[in-house]
Amino acid sequence: VRRPAAPPPPAPAPSAPAPRRRQGTKRRGSGQPPSAPGGPDDERRRRKRERNLREQERTHRITERIAELRDAIAEAGVPSKPDRHSTLVSVVGYIRTLQDRSRRLDGEMRGLLETIAGAGRLAGDGGSTSGGSSSSCGGARRSRGGGGAP
């Protein structure tokens, strides 16, 4: 008893051929072959490489400066996350804090200078009106006047 032969398996469906691309070349929008060495394409590539190098150097310098800022605020005890944005936000906040502190200290210093100038005027007036006993009194005033802060 012979069995009938099985039909052959179906042939695979034809698939679309994969797009062919030359290795090591970039796509060109014009479809033109590459130009001869020293031509306009070489000049464009050279300028593009130089521009990319300059941008990489600029990015590297910015990264270094942000790292310096991160170290500076860490030394100052300012909390910050290690990413660039958080570092810059923390630096801006710290600068504003320092500016406020500077304004406050400038005001205190002006007040102290005014107190010292007033004490000097009092000491000068006391010494010229009467003899030696008033000058010792002026010294007492100076020590009291210089001790108080506004």
Tell me the three-class secondary structure of the chain, residue by residue.
Answer: CCCCCCCCCCCCCCCCCCCCCCCCCCCCCCCCCCCCCCCHHHHHHHHHHHHHHHHHHHHHHHHHHHHHHHHHHHHCCCCCCCCHHHHHHHHHHHHHHHHHHHHHHHHHHHHHHHHHHHHHHHHHHHHHHCCHHHHHHHHHHHHHHHHCCC
Q: pTM for this one? A: 0.49
pLDDT of 121 = 82
**Residue stretches of the chain with pLDDT short of 50:** 129-150
